[in-house]
Amino acid sequence: MNLDFSDEQKQLRDQIRRFLGEKCPSSAVRAVLEGPESYDKGLYRGLAEMGVLGAAIPEEFGGSGLTHLELCVVAEELGRALAPVPVSSSIYLAAEFLIQAGTPRQKALWLPRLAAGGSIGTFAMSEGQGRTTPARISARVEGGKLTGVKFPVADGDVADLAVVAARDEQGRLSLYLVELAAAGVRREALESIDPTRGQARLVFDRAPAELLGTKGDGWHIASQVLDRAAVLMAFEQLGGADRALEMARDYALERMAFGRPIGSFQAIKHILADMYVSATLARSNCYYGAWALVSGAAELPVAAATARVSATTAFQHCAKNNIQVHGGMGFTWAFDCHLFYRRSNALALALGSQSTWESLLIERMSAGNAETAA
């Protein structure tokens, strides 16, 4: 049994951590928070040059031909650093959709660009408030032209390509590739609780759309890709949870009150212990998810939901309590606690809300293999 990353993967982790330590300090995150750009272009280019964007993209399509385990390692580090880059939209989602459902021509056209970071992709499914279900999708493609409104779309303000869930002429839910620079696409940046990651509303008015995968297969493909993305996103959340815990621990060691470090008070110590517990459970569940993702196990749907629910819980728990341990200073703009708080709450909703994944987990366990998570 080896539920762990290999030595090479751990070296990759160290390498990326060093790189992000240099290129993505919190000042870089703040530059996006406070500035006009919705992502850090230099950082994204740097990640592309290191080959990490294409880690899990086949070599024939411009990737590094590594595995999704390496991508999990990358994701955890991006989460730790709160990297303000569109990796989840472009790599976990758009590239994965192309790998899973694209024709050779579609793959050859888009995957090299996504791997090189020259183009950014995203996935547009939600059409407003409330849980996304097949019945709620009304965007429509007729004669190769897409009409409808999608929001929120992560990184929709900067993406070049969107995978859009929409109905075909017969009303069947299908997926389409849409170039966002084309005529008939209007986009509008949206304010969000986490301005370090872009959000947009995309309005399509007879925009050119090209089928991805089989007609009527949209929900099925999306579910598969979302499961894969959920494991990667869980690693991002895990990285964030761990870093928030470290920040709180460091502050509890340094901050004095009543003549002693606050970390010596059990009221604080026990908060930190509970943060460690939630981060540890999430890490173990993430490893389970990573195993299922890379081994093609039949239990991937259960493992992905398990990793996702656990990591969402951990990141939210650690980020909110990081503020609590910091006391009033944690509520200032100047301290970094809010960056984690924002990201934890934004990621908890990306790919579907926590209650959606909780429901999926139990639905899947009861449908099939109840023993897998037992």
Partner 1 sequence: MDFEDTVEEAAFRTQVRAWIDANAPKHLEEELKRASFGSNGVVSEDPIAAGKAWQKKKAEAGWACLHWPKEYGGAARTPIERVIWGQEEGAYAALTGVFTIGHGMCGPTVMSWASEEHKRKLLPPLASGEHIWCQLFSEPASGSDLAGLRTRAVKADDGSGDWIVNGQKIWTSGAQYSDWGLLITRTNPDVPKHKGLTMFFLDMKSPGVEVRPIKQVNGQSSFNEVYFTDVRIPDSQRLGDVGQGWEVSLTTLMNERLSIGSGMSTGFPELFRFCMDAEIDGRPAVEDSAVRSRLAQIAVRQSGLKYTGMRAISALSKGETPGPENSIGKLVAGATMQDLSMFALDLQGEAGVIWDEDSPQQGRFQAMLMRSPATRIEGGSDEILRNIIGERVLGLPGDIRVDKDVPFKDIPTSGRKKK
- Chain residues binding partner 1 by CB under 8 A are 1-5, 69, 249, 252-253, 260-261, 263-266, 269-270, 272-274, 276-277, 280-285, 287-288, 290-291, 294-295, 305-306, 309-310, 313, 355, 357-359, 361-363, 365-366, 370-371, 373-374
Min dist CB 354 to partner 1, Å, is 8
Q: Which one, 85 or 290, has the nearer CB to partner 1?
A: 290
Other C-beta atoms closer than 10 Å to the C-beta of 119 total 18
Token digits of residue 81: 């650093």
Token digits of residue 232: 């990667």
Distance of CA 41 to the CA centre of its chain: 18
* Burial (CB count within 10 angstroms: exposed 0-12, middle 13-18, buried 19+), residue 285: buried
| Strand, helix or coil for residue 124 | strand
Min dist CB 183 to partner 1, Å, is 43
Min dist CB 9 to partner 1, Å, is 9
Distances (CA, A) of 200 to 157, 205, 351: 5, 16, 15
- The whole-angstrom separation of Cα 91 and Cα 152 is 18
Min dist CB 31 to partner 1, Å, is 31
Rounded to 5 degrees, φ, ψ at 358 are: -60, -45
- Residue matched to tokens 């299922």: 292
| Rg (the chain; Cα; Å) | 20
Handedness of CA 29, 96, 170, 146 (dihedral sign): positive
Q: Is the peptide bond before 152 cis (omega within 30 degrees of 0)?
A: yes
Min dist CB 77 to partner 1, Å, is 18
- The whole-angstrom separation of Cα 46 and Cα 28 is 13
Candidates 51, 60, 155; CA nearest to 99 is: 60
- The whole-angstrom separation of Cα 122 and Cα 186 is 15
Min dist CB 240 to partner 1, Å, is 17
- The whole-angstrom separation of Cα 1 and Cα 28 is 40
Min dist CB 6 to partner 1, Å, is 8
Min dist CB 176 to partner 1, Å, is 31
How does DSSP assign 283-296, residue by residue? HHHHHHHHHHHHHT
Min dist CB 269 to partner 1, Å, is 4
